Amino acid sequence: MAVKLLILLQLCVIVSSIQDDRKVGRLTEVFAWKQLTYDIDGVALTQDRVTSFEQNALLRRKRQSDLVYFKNEYMDERIWSEKYSRMDSRVIPRWNLYRPKPSQPNVGTNVNQSDAFFIQYNNVPMGVERVGDRVFITVPRRRYGIPSTLNYVELNQRERSPALKPYPDIRQARSLTSVYRTRADQCGRLWMVDTGLLEIPANPQQVQPPAIVIFDLNTDTQILRYQFKDEDIPAANTPTGLASITIDMQSDCASAYAYIPDLTTFGLIVYSLKDNDSWRLSHSYFHFNPIAGNLNIAGQNFQWNDGIFSITIKQTGRECNTAYFHPLISFHEFAVSTCVLNNKTAIQASNYWSLYSVSMKILLAYR
């Protein structure tokens, strides 16, 4: 199923890029990527950088004399590209740059895709957020060959298909394993969940514990990495579901709360910045509705079961705001007061379950 969704997403990206018209209805098209490219410290990544000598790589190597290969540190046959040799070695990605000797055509035959620095087709953007002149674009690591999971482009450059730049730079970007979506707050901070997981089908690897990460957008530095408690992450596959984050704040920047839906194991993690503490809530409204799970998208039939997917806050001007949320697979929108979410012990109250309400029901005609 994930493969099908991936294909659909890529089709969307391709379709949107082949329109010559830069107007879509009343909207002006700003970006349209056919396939993502990267700009890493001024070096353009515009096509695959892999180490395996597949047929197509061989063909490409014949066509192009200056091809740069990326390779793991443990390879002895390392030859640094002249382009990179003058760079500070600390900024070189873990998958070092490597140019095979033409005299050794078999070098690298024993390596697999996990060594690839860039496999263009695998780079699927999933989160996009504009803050001022920058647009942050996240590429979760659900396949091999993703050079940087958190990136940005500058809006004022007005390039149609701009290259992504690692945020804040390739060195700091290396501390992030995989990010689905970011959320900026009114205090110049960019929040996200680093799932810590290389979500490779059939070979997932928890590289580091899942954590909330905050960057200060004024200084472009990381100001927080809060590792979730064990109780927040009840199952090994929970990190795959930490795909979004929502911030609730009164006037005071220091007392922000973050809400992280867990769409895989159906919960809601709340983090208090002031208390530097987190807790996990459950409610049956966080689950998917099996009646809504049969999907047919562009001729593809499949069942899906994502639970609570995203949250939005309605400011009330009073102490308690309203949080609206919905499972992806559901016909309902639900509501709960942020005062319930922000109260560490509210879940112990006998009326906790009734503090949530159905705010909207989508009526669909069935065939």
Ligand X SMILES: *[C@@H]1O[C@H](CO)[C@@H](O)[C@H](O)[C@H]1NC(C)=O
Cα angle for residues 175, 181, 183 (degrees, 5° grid): 95
Q: From the list 35, 206, 343, 359, which residue makes contact with ligand X (rule: CB under 6 A)?
A: 343
Question: Minimum distance between the CB of residue 229 and ligand X, rounded to whole angstroms?
Answer: 7
Q: From the list 44, 236, 349, 360, which residue makes contact with ligand X (rule: CB under 6 A)?
A: 349
Residue 255 binding ligand X, by CB under 6 A: no
Q: CA 104, CA 86: separation in Å to the nearest integer?
A: 25
**What is the torsion angle, in degrees rounded to the nearest 10, for the CA atoms of residue 119, residue 122, residue 232 and residue 186?**
90
Contact 34, 14 (CB under 8 A): yes
Q: From the list 17, 81, 114, 206, which residue makes contact with ligand X (rule: CB under 6 A)?
A: 114
Question: Minimum distance between the CB of residue 289 and ligand X, rounded to whole angstroms?
Answer: 28
Q: Any alpha helices (H) in the chain, and if so which ranges?
A: 2-17, 55-63, 82-85, 170-173, 338-341
Tell me which H or E stretch contains 310: strand 308-314
Residue 289 binding ligand X, by CB under 6 A: no
Residue 296 binding ligand X, by CB under 6 A: no
Residue 345 binding ligand X, by CB under 6 A: yes
- Render the burial of 62-77: b for 16+ CB within 10 Å, e for the rest: eeeeebbbbbeeebee
The candidate with the shortest Cα–Cα distance to 171, out of 213, 226, 119, 222, is 222
Q: From the list 46, 64, 112, 186, which residue makes contact with ligand X (rule: CB under 6 A)?
A: 112
**261-280: which residues touch ligand X (CB under 6 A)?**
276
What letter would DSSP give residue 355? G
Q: Please say which residue, 115 or 194, places its beta carbon nearer to ligand X.
A: 115
Question: Minimum distance between the CB of residue 352 and ligand X, rounded to whole angstroms?
Answer: 7
Q: Please say which residue, 207 or 360, places its beta carbon nearer to ligand X.
A: 207
Q: Which of these segments, 28-36, 95-103, 322-330, 341-349, binds ligand X (CB under 6 A)? A: 341-349
Which stretches of the chain bind ligand X, using CB under 6 A? 112, 114-115, 226, 276, 343, 345-346, 348-349
